[in-house]
Every structure is written in C-alpha cells, then in structure tokens.
A and B are shown apart, each in its own frame.
Chain A
Amino acid sequence: MSWGPESLGLLLFALLVFPGLFFTVALALFSEWYLRKIVARMQNRMGPSYVGPFGILQPLADFLKLVMSKEEVVQKFSLSWVPKAMALTGIGAAVASLLFLPISPFRVVAPYDFVVYLYICSLWVPVSIVFMGLSAPNPFVSAGISRLLSLFIATEPVWFAAVLVPVALTTYYGYSEMPFSVFCTAVNSWRLWSEPLGAVAMLLGLVGTVVSIQAKEMAQPFNIPEAEHELIAGFATEFSGPVLGLFNLVHDVDTAVSLLLVTYIYLGGPYPYPHLSVPGILLLIVKYLALLTVVSVIRSSFGRFRIEQGIETLLKYSAAPVAIALILANIAPIIT
C-alpha cells in the first residue's frame, strides 16, 4: 500500500483510539475489575461493588485518585522522573505491539516479525518495570528486583518459545503468507486445531503459555518479587501516589495485551468469523474472558511460591510442555 493522509490518520486512530491507548487502558481496567471480582468470589468476598454498576469503575477510580489527588512524595535518594518516564514507556510499548494483531485497523506485517514483536512487547515492558523499581534505592527494593530478574530470566525465554509455537506451526503447515509473522499467525491459528499433531502442539503450548503468563505478570503463585509480609512490597516498596497509579496501569495494560495476543495466536481470535460481525465479536469476547477467568482462578487457588519453587514449577509446567510443543511443531508438518 502507499502512504497517504488516510493511512496516517488510520495509524493515529489505531495507536490512540482503537485498539490503541484509550481502548487498551479501558480493557486493562476492565480486566483488573474482572480479575478482582473472580478472586473475591472465590474467597467469599464481594469484590469491587460501589463505583459504577457492579463496581466496574472501581479500577478507574483507583487510578484517577492515585494520579490526580495523591501527593507525589519523592524519596530522598530516588530519581523523580525515571519511574514515571519508564511507566509511560511501558504503556507505549504495550499499546504499539497491538499493531501486529488483526484487531487493529492498521496492521504491520513482515517476515520473521515475531522477533520484532518480542522486542517491542517483551523487552520494553519488563525493562521499564525493572527501571521503575531501581529508581528508588531501598533494601526491600533491591531484594525484590533481584527476585524479579531471576524470574524474568526463567520466564521470558519460555514466553518467547510459547509465542513461537503457533508462529512456527502456521509457517510449517503453509497457512502463512509470510514466514514467522505474528499477523499471519493470528489470522490462521484457528486452522491449526484441525491438524491432529498440530492440535496437540497447540494444546501443550497453551498450557505452557498460561503458566508463563502467571509468572510474567507476577500473579500468584509467582508474586515472588512483591512478596507481601516478607519484602513489604518488594520492588514496588517505594511506589506511592501517581507512580503507584502508573505502575498499576502498566501492569494491567501488559496483562491485557498479553492475554489478547494469546487469544489470537492460540485461540484463533474471532475467526472463522470476520471482526465486524456479531458472532466474531462475541467469539472474541468469550475467548478473552475464558482466558482471563482461567488466569484469575489460578491466581486465587495458590499461595505464593518461594523463588526456587517458582522457577521449578515454571520449568516443569511451562518450559517442558512448550519445549515438547516446539519439537512437535517442527516435526508435525513433515509426518502428516
């Protein structure tokens, strides 16, 4: 296609409105409300109830309170602008990564672009969170950051491999117009479930992905870097006021974008129906909510692991299935 004012306008719309900044923030806040509600139900509590219908606006109210009303107290030894700049960078990276998915009206596609996707989504966001923590020196923060880095070192390669499984399967089965492209995978991944060995690889990859998302988002049982009652709040000990609000937001946005990616590349998004159709939209919503429910149920079913238990669990239930799925992804198209 050629560049023109129309495509530039569409790019701006895709980045800022749908599925860009405003939609992503709304989705992230909704996801947090949904997660809190499910966790509360499992713990025999009500969860958010008062702000908006069924308490749905509670995460927005929390965010606005922290960002607009709370005083910003800068710790004596901290860099005041670094945590805010890094949080905004993390949000920007997560939002820009949506250009790879078919939900965006402006899509970018290139051969082997899953590497670009991982660079934008899995490098910038964790790095921004690490630098947010490092900007305020504190013994609890140091302990939390060292745990965070240990967990990232185990989690991110598994996440890379988990993204690679459907991307490789789509390429090797010949469904993809471009090799190893995230967009082509997202459009065609629903076809992989009809291939006998491909379906097994997808199932194993999906199991590993769900576990690695828990670790990636530091949700229970992998909330080791925060570790309340042990490290106060770990790497987030010095976050307060607007910085805490921005950290919560970047975390929620990252969760929502990661779940959306899995909804597309593993569960097939709205396909075989088009996006702009009632069955397509309903299918997309149902798949996203199902995934979010599974993540919420896992989160509320476990206590926190120790760091070595967390890494061992990650290797057993995430790295191992994903490694088998990757081997299957390489041999399945040759066998069948």
Chain B
Amino acid sequence: MAVVLKLEPYAEALLVTGAMFGVVAVCTLLYALLRRGTSARRGGEGSEPYIGGEAPNILRRVDASAQNLYWGFVEGVSRTIYRVLRFVVHSGRLNEWAGYMAAYYGLLALLAIISLAIYIARLG
C-alpha cells in the first residue's frame, strides 16, 4: 500500500535532505563493511600526482613566466601587426614599399596640417 505525504515545500526539503543523509549513513556502513580489514596507503608507488611523465617541478610553476607572456603577446595580440609588416611593408617590391611609406608620411603630414590649423584657430 502506497503512502502519499502532502507537505509544505520547506518541510519536504528538510525531509528529503534528512532521507538523503540517512541513505548516505547506510552507504557509509556498507562501504566500511566492504573495505574492512584494509587501509589506505599514503606514500610509495603511485602516490605522486600523475602528470603524464613530466618532471614534478612543472607543478611549482604556478605563474606564467615573463618569457611566456612575451611570446603570448607576440603570437596572439600582435599577430595582425606582424602580418602588416610582413606582407605590406616587407613584401620585397619597391613600389609597394614606396606606396606604403607615401601613405604613412601622407597621414603624418595630414595630422600635422590639422594640428597646425587647430593651433592657429585657437591663437586667433
């Protein structure tokens, strides 16, 4: 015969949590019975962390080194700058280099003219 217990949600949460820990207690007892006569071994073979054959000192390296950060920046963030430098500036063709430098100097000249105009306007 089945029993349906109608409760408030809080009471239900308490009952089910209590039931859970009851089952945990029985499980613990059963586990202790299954493992009786044995004890855990700490130390000796197999007690080192498994790190795939690496030397244990890699575990001491908790922070990324400055060299790693440098290469992380070079490989990751500055890749687009490198691409521009390699494929546009250093493409090996003189007219491409001249075009790039002319555009760059043109930009600088434009910025200089604008700055000068703003400076003169402020003076006036």
Contact = CB atoms under 8 A, between A and B. Distances in A.
B5 A91 contact: no
A300 interface: no
A77 B51 CA distance: 13
Contact of A113 (B12, B22, B44, B50): B12
B9 interface: yes
Given A10-B3, A96-B23, A107-B3, A73 B12 contact: no
Contacts of B43: 76
Given A68-B34, A73-B46, A75-B49, A108 B16 contact: yes
A67, A99, A110, most chain B CB atoms within 10 A = A110
B1 A105 contact: yes
Interface residues of B, number: 44
A108 B22 contact: no
Interface stretch (A27-35, A136-144, A286-294, A317-325): A136-144
Nearest to A120: B16
Contact of B23 (A91, A106, A138): A91
Contacts of B22: 15, 92
Contacts of A95: 20, 23
A85 B48 CA distance: 22
Nearest to B24: A92
Interface residues of A, number: 60
Interface stretch (B25-33, B73-81, B115-123): B25-33
A21 B31 CA distance: 13
A238 B24 contact: no
A108 B5 contact: yes
Given A93-B20, A140-B50, A108 B41 contact: no
B8 interface: yes
With a 10 A CB-CB cut-off, give which of A20, A92, A120 has the most chain B CB atoms: A92
A201 B4 CA distance: 29
Given A11-B19, A92-B23, A136-B49, A106 B12 contact: no
A107 B5 contact: yes
Interface in B28-75: 28, 31, 34-35, 38-52, 58-59
A312 B20 CA distance: 35
A88 B4 CA distance: 27
Given A73-B46, A106-B5, A116 B13 contact: yes
A97 B19 CA distance: 9
B31 A106 contact: no
Contacts of B26: 16, 21
A72 interface: yes
Contacts of B52: 140, 232
A240 interface: yes
A71 B12 contact: no
B11 interface: yes
Nearest to B50: A237
B4 to A, nearest CB: 5
A74 interface: yes
Interface of B: 1-9, 11-13, 15-17, 19-24, 26-28, 31, 34-35, 38-52, 58-59
28 contacts: A1-B3, A16-B26, A64-B34, A71-B41, A72-B41, A73-B44, A76-B43, A80-B40, A88-B31, A89-B24, A92-B23, A92-B27, A95-B23, A96-B19, A99-B16, A102-B2, A105-B1, A106-B3, A107-B4, A108-B5, A108-B7, A113-B12, A116-B9, A116-B12, A120-B16, A124-B20, A140-B50, A183-B4
- Ranked 8 nearest A-B pairs via Cβ: A92-B24, A96-B20, A92-B23, A72-B40, A110-B12, A73-B46, A74-B42, A88-B27
